[in-house]
Amino acid sequence: MKWLFYHLLPADDYLYTMEAKATKKPKKVFVDGPISSEFIGNSIAKHAVKTEIGAHNIFLGQVRNDEIEGKEVVAIDYSAYPEMAEQVFHDIRESAFAKFDLTCMHIYHSLGVVKTGEICLFVFVSSKHRQVTFDALHYLVEEIKAKAPIFGKELFADDTHVWKENK
Amino acid sequence: MLEEATGVSKETLEAPATLGELKAQVLQQYPALQKLTFTMAVNHAMVDDATALNEGDEVAFLPPFAGG
């Protein structure tokens, strides 16, 4: 069976087609609250069966304790314009698959309250070789920061807040 | 952010011809918005002020993006 399958279609093309198809249905990006290290670990473990992969690359965004006008940020409360975000993430994903020779790609972002030191963004790309993963990861994180309609309320210990803006 | 400034989250308006005209109309109605930074999307896409509006369009006033 395996031989027949490879004979019918080059393995690389087949994988690309499978991944491209998988991106057609909306993938779940938003996670309620912080992204746990267990979730990240499990996500890595799931790729053990994809033995054609030679390089993984991961970006983790962590909530930072910025000091604003003498007050320290203790958490960020994330919200989004969900219908638009779904479209934007779909477009970013499609463009990354078109630009880079990726085997797979996963994007998760928190909604709701994420405390300082906790993870709010998890971007995970895999390919045969390392360079593609560095380039794709950089592209994806910048695109997400610039284009995804996600908003962040920076919360202080005294229950006041300011709205965060990506630089 | 914009909801805090205007007290509204959703509103149905008689659509002017373009997005720019709608923006001017909304800024006049909610002067508090004039001090805030925002961008606008029509039917989930970022577009410029010259964009023509049609009946049924969904226009969103979006605060600065802060994902990641």
For B19-46, the pLDDT digits (tens) are: 999 999 999 999 999 999 999 999 999 9
Residue A27: its pLDDT value, please? Answer: 77
pLDDT above 70: residue A7? no
Chain B hits for A120, CB-CB cut-off 8 Å, are: 68
Across chain A, what does the average pLDDT equal? Answer: 87
pTM of the predicted model as reported, rounded to 2 decimal places: 0.84
Report the alpha-carbon distance of residue A127 to residue A105 in Å, rounded. 9
Residue A26: its pLDDT value, please? Answer: 61
A163 with B68: Cβ contact below 8 A: no
Give the nearest chain A residue to B46 (CA atoms). Answer: A147
Bridge partner list, A27: none
Three-state secondary structure of B8-57 = CCCCCCCCCCEHHHHHHHHHHHCHHHHHCCCEEEECCEECCCCCECCCCC
Tens of pLDDT along A64-114? 999 999 999 999 999 999 999 999 999 999 999 999 999 999 999 999 999
Complex-level ipTM: 0.88
Question: What is the CB-side half-sphere exposure of residue A88 using CA atoms within 13 A?
Answer: 26
Residue B8: its pLDDT value, please? Answer: 82
Stretch A15-32: mean pLDDT, rounded?
Answer: 61
